């Protein structure tokens, strides 16, 4: 607790902001980072309103489950956090996404300060992935932001989108539309941020293939030491919200999801590789399937 107060008195709140397309491994990355003794991960904190509003979201109470597997209203951690913002706790979920920069800044500062105080940590990890949210953080002098641009092979991302669409029987989850969106946002983000000192490129494939090496590299860039607990995130208690439901499963290893390699047809692989060739080159992905 003493470390938290000393750090907060001297500096703005330090935020590790995960910026990525969906289906790129942000939940896994968030859990790994949040297992560090100085980092508290909140998950997709921009979805807090869905968790604490009086009316549950359309898909029911499952959408209110904290990573500790308790409903957020029964979670002692979140009860402690929300009690610190007291009268604002039912408005905070909406206010942290306000378009008014002053409201955004004040609400996020209040919420993140409460989270860090309860967790007794000094750095907050936000895996909301939203570009507009990141931009508002960058405009504020109350936050010191490190941008973690997380990427994954675009063909794997597009396959995951299509797989989700098949499960939901929703044709809007389209393979080639996903590729188009991937190209648009990741090219924009790389162009806009890669020249900054607080920009860090992270590849999903590197995380799952050699977790210790990749996380050590990132920690060094962030001025932190790698801790063994990050390699075994499932041994720690987490209170993330939102994200992939893998956060609620009992994992005992980190392994690559490479289902896409055997399920994308030759034609789709060929077309996808042509359409995303500049991004494959920028982020260091092979053209040929047998090299992926």
Each domain of the chain, given as residue ranges in start order, spans: 2-153+198-257
User: Of 182, 201, 205, nearest to 257 (Cα)?
Assistant: 205
Rounded to an integer, the average pLDDT of 11-27 is: 94
Q: Quick one: pLDDT at residue 107?
A: 92
For residue 74, what are the contacts with CB-CB under 8 A and spacing of at least 6? none
What is d(CA 179, CA 20) in angstroms, rounded to the nearest whole number?
14
Residue 58 pLDDT more than 70?
Answer: no
pLDDT in tens, 111-138: 999 999 999 999 999 999 999 999 999 9
Strand runs labelled E in 105-142: 123-126
What is d(CA 259, CA 247) in angstroms, rounded to the nearest whole number?
19
Residue 5 pLDDT more than 60?
Answer: no
Q: How many other CB atoms sit within 10 Å of the CB of residue 135?
A: 11
pLDDT in tens, 182-237: 999 999 999 999 999 999 999 999 999 999 999 999 999 999 999 988 888 888 88
Give the H or E element holding residue 150.
Answer: strand 143-151
């Amino acid at each position: 607790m003493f470390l938290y107060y000393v750090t907060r008195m001297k500096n703005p709140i330090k935020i590790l902001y995960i910026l990525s397309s969906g289906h790129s491994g942000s939940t896994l990355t968030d859990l790994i980072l949040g297992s560090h003794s100085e980092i508290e991960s909140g998950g997709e904190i921009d979805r807090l309103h869905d968790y604490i509003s009086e009316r549950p979201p359309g898909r029911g109470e499952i959408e209110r489950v904290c990573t500790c597997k308790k409903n957020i209203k029964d979670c002692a951690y979140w009860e402690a956090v929300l009690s610190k913002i007291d009268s604002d706790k039912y408005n905070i979920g909406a206010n942290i996404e306000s378009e008014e920069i002053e409201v955004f800044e004040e609400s996020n500062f209040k919420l993140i300060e409460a989270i860090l105080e309860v967790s007794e940590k000094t750095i907050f990890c936000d895996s909301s992935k939203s570009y507009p949210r990141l931009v508002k953080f960058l405009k504020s002098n109350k936050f010191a932001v490190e941008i973690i641009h997380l990427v994954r092979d675009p063909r794997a991302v597009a396959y995951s989108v299509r797989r989700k669409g098949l499960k939901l029987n929703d044709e809007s989850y389209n393979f080639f539309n996903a590729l188009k969106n991937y190209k648009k946002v990741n090219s924009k983000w790389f162009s806009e941020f890669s020249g900054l000192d607080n920009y860090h490129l992270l590849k999903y494939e590197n995380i799952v293939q050699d977790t210790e090496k990749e996380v050590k590299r990132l920690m060094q860039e962030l001025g932190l030491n790698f801790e063994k607990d990050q390699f075994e995130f499932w041994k720690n208690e987490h209170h993330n919200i939102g994200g992939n439901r893998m956060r609620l499963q009992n994992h005992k290893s980190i392994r690559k999801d490479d289902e896409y390699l055997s399920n994308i047809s030759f034609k789709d692989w060929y077309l996808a590789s042509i359409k995303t060739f500049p991004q494959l080159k920028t982020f260091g992905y092979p053209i040929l399937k047998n090299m992926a």
